[in-house]
């Protein structure tokens, strides 16, 4: 087969591949624009979380009236900004963007346990060293740095806008 025959046969395939790449790029850009233009504000997430203060802690519960720690964070993100995050505290840590302590923002998740590979609790950071979480006293606000918690990491499940 000569090079000119091969080139002629490849031209339609190259055109199709180029058009496909353009379509994927356009769709991805439009989808990203839609996601960023939707209201993914911290105030929506916090407002939803606050609605559940006092709800009972029940191991394995995912809401809307009883929660365990990761069931609470999963519920709040899904209900407030339609963001789906993994079910367990360890999976939430593994499946979301890590941030450093110095870069933590309101709405980020704070993880506790023996290590980054042995996470047993998660709460949502609300600023000023405090979090809202579901634990044995139910859904409460409390200090992130308490004698009974060992912080092992932070993550950002969504890029939120801030009104303040």
Predicted pLDDT at 26 = 42
Predicted pLDDT at 37 = 41
Residue 77 contacts by C-beta under 8 Å, 6 or more apart in sequence? Answer: 45, 83, 84, 85, 157, 158
Peptide bond between residue 64 and the one before it cis (omega within 30 degrees of 0): yes
CA 105/CA 126 separation, integer angstroms: 8
* b/e burial code for range 46-73 (CB count within 10 A of at least 16 → b): bebbeebeebebeeebebeebbbbbbbb
Predicted pLDDT at 58 = 98
Predicted pLDDT at 39 = 82
Predicted pLDDT at 38 = 60
Predicted pLDDT at 19 = 44
Q: Is the dihedral of CA 66, 112, 159, 43 positive or negative?
A: positive
Predicted pLDDT at 14 = 53
Instruction: Give residue for tokens 């790449």.
Output: 21
Predicted pLDDT at 66 = 98
Q: Average pLDDT of each block of 10 consecutive residues along the chain (164 residues)?
A: 58 51 44 53 97 98 97 98 98 98 98 97 98 97 94 97 82
CA 93/CA 138 separation, integer angstroms: 22
Q: Classify the phi-psi angles of 60: left when phi > 0, otherwise alpha if psi is within -120 to 50, otherwise beta.
A: left
CATH, range 39-156: 3.90.1720.10
**What residues are annotated to the active site?**
69, 121, 133
CA 70/CA 75 separation, integer angstroms: 8
Predicted pLDDT at 1 = 56
């Amino acid at each position: 087969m000569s090079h000119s025959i091969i080139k002629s046969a490849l031209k339609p395939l190259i055109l199709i591949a180029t058009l496909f790449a353009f379509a994927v790029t356009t769709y991805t850009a439009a989808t990203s624009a839609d996601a960023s233009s939707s209201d993914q504000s911290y105030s929506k997430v916090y407002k939803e979380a606050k609605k559940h203060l006092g709800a009972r802690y029940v191991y394995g519960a995912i809401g809307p009236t009883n929660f365990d720690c990761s069931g609470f964070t999963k519920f709040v993100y899904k209900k407030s900004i339609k963001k789906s995050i993994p079910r367990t505290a360890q999976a939430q840590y593994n499946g979301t963007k890590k941030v450093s302590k110095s870069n933590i923002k309101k709405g980020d998740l704070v993880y506790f346990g023996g290590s980054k590979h042995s996470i047993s609790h998660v709460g949502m950071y609300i600023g000023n060293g405090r979090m809202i979480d579901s634990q044995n006293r139910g859904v409460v606000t409390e200090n992130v740095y308490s004698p009974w918690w060992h912080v092992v990491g932070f993550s950002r499940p969504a890029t939120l806008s801030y009104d303040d």
